Amino acid sequence: MSEPTFSGKQSAISVNFRRTVTVGGLKVRVELEPGCWVTGSRLGLIASHRIAGSARLVSRRLFEKATPADIDAMLPRLRVVKCRFKGCKAPNLVGDGRPRGSEKGYCARHRLKDIVAAAAQVQAKLDEAKARSDDAAYRRGFRYRATVWVHRDTGDDMYSILWFVKKPTAELLRKVAKQSGSRLPNDFQIERLRPVAHRKRNRR
């Protein structure tokens, strides 16, 4: 990357700055935080390690005024701490401020587990809401649920949920998809609703 100049002067730190430092026995790669060399931005560093993850170090010094001595002053703040998940001994790289990506101080593996668990929780809530609306539809006499996906050229794909007393024809659902502006009108699913009592019994 070409070096920026500030009022005609080249910065004391190269934008291609890279260094490998040893922290807690781990070889950690350090480089400038992307974009910190833009005029008016403060010097920032990103440290990363394949297992211990990444951490950020921030300085109050503006990049255009910073010198290698500022970097030397920041590096000792890098630490490696144990993952805070009970029983896990995996290393976790820590810098200034909030840890990147893991507010709980988890290692990469437990961070991922945490994300998966959170996603499962959201899915469970969605499933519950779906079951509730199915129950309401069933009580009102509907026996089929159709999910019609709407694929548009712009924006995210969306879907519509429709309830029917009698099983809808494919032709009807294609028409619904086309009217909603879908370019793939064959993407739908029909499911027979189960009686409310039956579903309740199956729920844990």
Binding site for Zn ion (CB under 5 A): 83, 85, 88, 90, 107, 110
**Residue type at position 34:** P
Can you tell me the distance from the alpha carbon of 152 to that of 181, in angstroms, rounded to the nearest whole number? 6
Residue 113 or residue 132: which is nearer to Zn ion going by CB?
113
Do 32 and 38 form a contact (C-beta atoms < 8 A)?
Answer: no
CB of 53 to Zn ion, least distance (A): 10
Residue 18 or residue 89: which is nearer to Zn ion going by CB?
89
Largest CA distance in the chain: 77
Residue 110 or residue 145: which is nearer to Zn ion going by CB?
110
CB of 9 to Zn ion, least distance (A): 46
Q: Secondary structure of the chain: what % helix, strand, coil (to 5)?
A: 30, 30, 40
CB of 92 to Zn ion, least distance (A): 7
Can you tell me the distance from the alpha carbon of 191 to that of 66, in angstroms, rounded to the nearest whole number? 64
Do 14 and 22 form a contact (C-beta atoms < 8 A)?
Answer: no
Residue 86 or residue 201: which is nearer to Zn ion going by CB?
86
CB of 113 to Zn ion, least distance (A): 8
